[in-house]
Structure 1
Amino acid sequence: MTETHATIPPGAPVFPPGRYGRRRQPGRRRPLLTVLLVVVSVAALTAVSVRLYRQYGDPAYDAQVITYTDITDNQVVVDFRVNLPEGGSAVCLLRARDNAGAEVAREEVPVTAAEGQRQVTVRHRLTTTARPFIGEVVRCRPPA
């Protein structure tokens, strides 16, 4: 004679008691751990995003080197254009490097746009410690 249990759904296999060891209960859910992991992940991604935004700046403060000229043993003149918010201002970091790529000058230059103006062209002379090979704008950011 076969046994029919009221708690076993039809079609489910019936195992003889004690023959295959103890059956495991379904795992206990841990919603607190899941929520904690999600919160930590979101916080970490937010921190990375903020750091990258601060490092690479606001696209509204975009700078382009037009030319670098008057290269001597102790100077280079850098002409550059900065896109700013209308009537805004920025601080641009300029540097000069020698043939080996070593930095021979670094200076922050304030740039201010006139009312209604979005692009400013600036000419700045960098005094260097050795003969420069190139003058460049590293980045522009809003003034502190």
Structure 2
Amino acid sequence: MTETHATITPGAPVFPPGRYGRRREPDRRRPRLAALLAAVLLATLGLIAAKLYQQYGDPRYDAQVITYTEITDSQVVIDFRVTVPAGGSTTCVLRARASDGAEVGHEEVTVTARPGERRIDARHRLATSARPFIGEVVRCRPAG
């Protein structure tokens, strides 16, 4: 004959007292530990990303197109402004695109700031293979 208790749901196993040891309560520390480890991992990855950006990124070379004018079938004139370290120089990649998005002109231009200045206002005539729709500064990096 087996012993049944009123608190046990039907179909649940009944273990004889003392035979299998004490039942463990669910551990509530593990979700906290997992959250703590995830937070430490995210903080570590954030620090690594910040260090790599400082080491390899070029945040000091910021370029903006002021205007693009004199659009013909074979050229576009691009006026742009670049922020560089004081008295520094930069090489910028200029590009012209047609109305369908195809690249019709591409050139690297090196510009230098006057001693003590950080902003360079430059103008460049970019030759194109077809009529451009827009002139752009793709990126700027340290000259060299």
Partner of 1:115: 115
Encode CA deviations 1:37-93: one digit per residue, 9 max, x unaligned: x99xx68x84797479757x32x2111111100111111000111111111111111
**How does the TM-score come out when normalised to structure 2?**
0.64
Alignment of 1:78-97 (within 5 A): 78-97=78-97
Letter of the structure 2 residue corresponding to residue 78 of structure 1: I
In 2 relative to 1, CA 53–96 (structure 1 residues): closer, same or farther, beyond 3 Å?
Answer: farther
Partner of 2:7: none
Please, what is the CA RMSD of the aligned residues? Answer: 3.8
Alignment of 1:20-35 (within 5 A): 20=20
Alignment of 1:28-67 (within 5 A): 46=48, 50=52, 54=56, 57-58=58-59, 60-67=60-67
Q: Where in structure 2 are there 5+ consecutive unaligned residues?
A: 1-15, 24-39
Aligned length in residues: 123
Q: Where in structure 1 are there 5+ consecutive unaligned residues?
A: 1-15, 24-37
- Give % identity: 62
Q: Which runs of 4+ in 1 moved over 2 A?
A: 16-21, 45-55
**How does the TM-score come out when normalised to structure 1?**
0.64
> Separation in 2 of the partners of 1:128 and 1:119?
27
Letter of the structure 2 residue corresponding to residue 69 of structure 1: T
How far did residue 19 of structure 1 move? 2.7
In 2 relative to 1, CA 142–106 (structure 1 residues): closer, same or farther, beyond 3 Å?
Answer: same
